Structure 1
Amino acid sequence: MLKKTLLITLFILIAIQFIRPDKTNPPIDKAIALNSSKDVMNILKNSCFDCHSYETKWPYYSEIAPVSFFVASHVKKGRKALNFSEWKNIDKDIKKARLKRAIMTVNNGMMALPSYVSVHDNAELSKDEKSTLIKWFEKELEILDQ
């Protein structure tokens, strides 16, 4: 019975390798993409862009099911929540809500996500980086309120 279960499990793991989730990086229109100061952009590119832009770097494990399904889904949800590649096209009220949420998630240590940081050591935000981002988010909110 155990041998049969292992063979079925192995067959399923091999079969799902042929199911490919959507892993795309649409072209970036620089006219609508975020363009901020170098320090903010460096932090965002290092810790946020893999999930929140069209500049995703798809790691090797994103090719292996079932992990590939999780990674593709995570990126899809991240882009839907906040996409820096579509920055200037985001509705003002939605952008304000996303910025407020970003402040909260950075403050409480939920961004970058612990699951992401666990495989991307350099993505963990330092105290200074958190401060820089929060100040930038707050400044963007002030601009939107004008």
Structure 2
Amino acid sequence: MNFILKTIWKRIVLFAVIAFALIQFIPKPKRNSDDTISEASFNTVYVVPDTIMHVLKTACYDCHSNNTRYPWYSNIQPVAWYLNRHIVNGKEELNFDEFGRYSRRRQQSKFKAIASQIEDNEMPLSSYRLLHREARLTKDEKRLLITWAKSSLDNIDSKK
């Protein structure tokens, strides 16, 4: 009986190794790389202090802009698919490079969401923070971003 179990496990491991090797030949998703700064870009539409911009670029822009900094492991399947899904979903929710094209109401909603998701520790995602130490926001960085997002929201509200 023990021999049969060992044989089954060997076959399972062999199958997994072959499957992993084969999926490497499946084309990787198109990369999210665009270095151009559009007129709709967040920091073109709003005056963003350098300290805020630095934190946003470090902790948010990989998934919420048109330009992602890809780590070495992004070339390995199925990691490439996983990262691509996060980037596509992140850009659907909030894209800093398209922010100026959002309606005033949507911009207000995004500023509220930025503040509340940082307060609730929902953003950056824990899976992102796990691999990106620089994206682990300090209490001061969180407070800074929350205060800035709320004041930006107030500025939009006052322009009605």
- 1:143 positional shift: 2.3
Structure 1 length normalisation: TM-score? 0.92
Report the Cα distance in structure 1 between the residues aligned to 2:150 and 2:130, rounded to whole angstroms.
Answer: 28
Q: 2:124 aligns with which of 93, 100, 112?
A: 112
Q: Percent identity?
A: 32
Corresponding residue for residue 3 of structure 2: none
- 1:126 positional shift: 0.9
Q: After superposition, what is the alpha-carbon deviation per residue over 1:87-113, rounded to whole angstroms, capped at 9, x for unaligned?
A: 211222222222211111100111111
Report the Cα distance in structure 1 between the residues aligned to 2:107 and 2:36, rounded to whole angstroms.
Answer: 19
- 1:38 positional shift: 0.5
- 1:27 positional shift: 4.5
Report the Cα distance in structure 2 between the residues aligned to 1:28 and 1:110, rounded to whole angstroms.
Answer: 29
Corresponding residue for residue 61 of structure 1: 73
Report the Cα distance in structure 2 between the residues aligned to 1:91 and 1:14, rounded to whole angstroms.
Answer: 46
Q: CA, structure 1 residues 14+42, in 2 after alignment: closer, same or farther (shift >3 Å)?
A: same
Letter in 2 for 1:3: K
CA contact (8 A) 2:32 2:67 kept: no
Query: Which structure 1 residue ranges, 5 or more long, are not aligned?
Result: none
Structure 2 length normalisation: TM-score? 0.84
Corresponding residue for residue 137 of structure 2: 125
Corresponding residue for residue 4 of structure 2: none
Corresponding residue for residue 78 of structure 1: 90
Corresponding residue for residue 98 of structure 1: 110
CA contact (8 A) 1:28 1:85 kept: no
- 1:116 positional shift: 0.6
Report the Cα distance in structure 2 between the residues aligned to 1:60 and 1:27, rounded to whole angstroms.
Answer: 19
Residue 23, structure 1, aligned to residue 31, structure 2: yes
Alignment RMSD (CA, Å):
1.4
Report the Cα distance in structure 1 between the residues aligned to 2:156 and 2:142, rounded to whole angstroms.
Answer: 21
